[in-house]
A and B are shown apart, each in its own frame.
Chain A
Amino acid sequence: MSSNEETVCGAEETEALIAGVGRKIWDGRRPGEPFYLIGVRTRGVPLAQRLAQELTLLADDEVVVGAVDITLYRDDLGCGRRWPVLRGTEIPFPVDGAEIVLVDDVLFTGRTIRAALNSICDLGRPARIRLAVLVDRGHRELPIQPDVVGLHLPTDRSDRVRVRLHPLDPAEEIVRVLAVSRPSQSDRSPAP
């Protein structure tokens, strides 16, 4: 499984990327509105919590994190062989009138983000939602763009990109898993 894995960022670089995303989120903030982060399950949640630590320092006030499970809003629900068991949406704050930063580890087709937006908007009417991702790997299938990106990573459509984060994973890193048929190194897809 790890034979065609290519490390894109090690632990320190990943850490630096997260810090950079945190600063960019803070810079784009509209003062005066209640401000929350919502992580997309699964890896978006620990990422949002790391960003919240950064932002809590910058804001000198605690930044609260919620979690959204997009399963019930997927456009391919029931199409796959695997039927996912729910992980649950936990949003412990009112979204009405709030500034929300939606956080995910990897942005790919945009379908996950579409589902997350629908899910959040079913809970109320936020003042604004921004999208922050650690890695944008391109190949969008919906008109969705991030507001804050840690790393633009050119990929082949059939590659997989994995972000590993504490405490879910033993080591922190960003890796690209190359499609089996594809020779290493060819970065032919243009970055957005």
Chain B
Amino acid sequence: MTIASPPSPSPGSGTVAVSAPASPLSSWTRKHLLGLEDLSSEEIMAILETAQSFAEISTRSRKKVPAMQGRIVFNLFFENSTRTRTSFSLAAKRLSADTQDFSVSASSLSKGETFIDTAKNIEAMGADVMVVRHPTPGAPHLLARHVKASIINAGDGAHEHPTQGLLDLMTIRKAKGRIEGLTVGLLGDIVHSRVARSNIWGLTKLGANVILCGPPTLVPRSMERLGCEVANRLEDILPRCDVVNVLRIQFERQQGGLFPSVGEYSHSYMMTQDRVRMAKPDLLLLAPGPINRGIEMTSEVADGKHSAILDQVTNGLAVRMAVLYLLSGKMDSRTTQAD
């Protein structure tokens, strides 16, 4: 609790820096968040820095700021999700926005209404932001071309899940102090994973080395084109990894036959204590959740000291607040009378 005169780069240590971490961007120019592929490294860093500031709000007893008062955030989820939808709703509420869930099963889509008509109806109700999850890759991009609201991609098929990528980056950065130069292993079902794609874009843009690891059916060699190393034996890469992100087997996206059996997959790729011991002593383990205990990792690893699974959930809230906040500056000009 001292007075820090020199700019100190350690936020939250009890000292107050004169100039808060210099932001890589002076202003935000994007209206939508569709994927990390589109973003520059400066834009990604701006979101991470902003999220760092929002993390502080969640530590207050009164966890709410008025930044998005009077805005409406709609959750349009055409695929099951609990964690992501809850996290977005809570993030919006902490910014004082009103939130509304749009439940697909109860909707007119089942009566034949098109996706875009549904979105236009929601827009007519005054939505400023639509948080969209859809099984079809590119669905949020399609909406962004047809509605005036800001679109946030909350997962489109196996394409991208940008806020998950961002919260993984934030968790790594908080634990390791940096992203650049780290070696990050993405383990498991890479080919069906939107989380993997958003991780690959985000990590490589910020200068990490990415190794994709899993059976050849789930990690095709062709993914080397994304600037990653591809490996099939987990034991070969573990000693080099600073971080391993353990992806879920997407049973719902697989047609089957991509590996002989769940037991065989676990035998080769499950994170066990023995495998953790092969890695660096400060290995950081991430998992986007929901985790299948006993398939992708053992319970003792999931609950062990290397695991940052619950930090990811906490950071996810801060990242989504940051994204909502930054995009809300670019929302429909009807509601922002520029001076």
- C-beta contact mask, B298-329 vs A, less than 8 Å → 1, else 0? 00000000000000000000000010011011
Contact A62 B339 (CB under 8 A): no
The list of the 9 closest CB pairs from A to B, nearest first, reads A83-B329, A88-B53, A87-B20, A86-B53, A72-B67, A72-B65, A85-B23, A92-B14, A67-B16
Q: How many interface contacts (CB-CB < 8 Å) are there between A and B?
A: 113
Contact B54 A86 (CB under 8 A): yes
Known: A73-B65, A73-B66. A90 touches B11 (CB 8 A): yes
Q: What is the interface residue range for chain B against chain A?
A: 35 or more
Contact B336 A79 (CB under 8 A): yes
> Does A78 touch B at the CB level, under 8 Å?
yes
**Residue numbers in A under 8 Å from B54 (CB-CB):** 86
**Residue numbers in B under 8 Å from A52 (CB-CB):** 3
Contact B1 A49 (CB under 8 A): no
**Residue numbers in A under 8 Å from B7 (CB-CB):** 167
> Does B261 touch A at the CB level, under 8 Å?
no
A-B residue pairs in contact (CB < 8 Å), sample of 21: A41-B20, A45-B16, A62-B3, A71-B67, A73-B65, A77-B329, A79-B337, A80-B338, A82-B26, A83-B28, A85-B26, A85-B49, A88-B53, A92-B1, A93-B1, A122-B60, A122-B62, A122-B64, A124-B61, A167-B7, A167-B19
> Does B142 touch A at the CB level, under 8 Å?
no
> Does B25 touch A at the CB level, under 8 Å?
yes
> Does A46 touch B at the CB level, under 8 Å?
yes
CB within 8 Å of A: which B42-79 residues: 46, 49-50, 52-54, 56, 60-62, 64-67
Distance (whole angstroms) from the CB of B132 to the closest CB of chain A:
22
Distance (whole angstroms) from the CB of B328 to the closest CB of chain A:
6
**Residue numbers in B under 8 Å from A62 (CB-CB):** 1-3
Known: A67-B16, A69-B53, A88-B53. A83 touches B27 (CB 8 A): yes
**Residue numbers in A under 8 Å from B181 (CB-CB):** none
CB within 8 Å of A: which B77-136 residues: 95
Contact A64 B67 (CB under 8 A): no
Q: Which residue of B lies closest to A121 (CB)?
A: B62
- The A interface is mostly helix, strand or loop, or mixed, namely loop
**Residue numbers in A under 8 Å from B338 (CB-CB):** 79-81
Bound: A39/B62 CA distance, A? 21
Bound: A56/B2 CA distance, A? 11
Bound: A39/B326 CA distance, A? 24
Bound: A90/B54 CA distance, A? 11
Distance (whole angstroms) from the CB of B295 to the closest CB of chain A:
40
> Does A109 touch B at the CB level, under 8 Å?
no
Return the contact of B328 from the options A49, A78, A85, A118 (Cβ within 8 A): A78
Return the contact of A123 from the options B19, B62, B330, B331 (Cβ within 8 A): B62
Distance (whole angstroms) from the CB of A85 to the closest CB of chain B:
4
CB within 8 Å of B: which A50-75 residues: 52-53, 56, 62-67, 69, 71-73
Contact B326 A89 (CB under 8 A): no
Known: A69-B20, A79-B338, A92-B15. A85 touches B25 (CB 8 A): yes
> Does A84 touch B at the CB level, under 8 Å?
yes
Contact B62 A66 (CB under 8 A): no
> Does B262 touch A at the CB level, under 8 Å?
no
Bound: A52/B162 CA distance, A? 43
Contact A49 B5 (CB under 8 A): yes
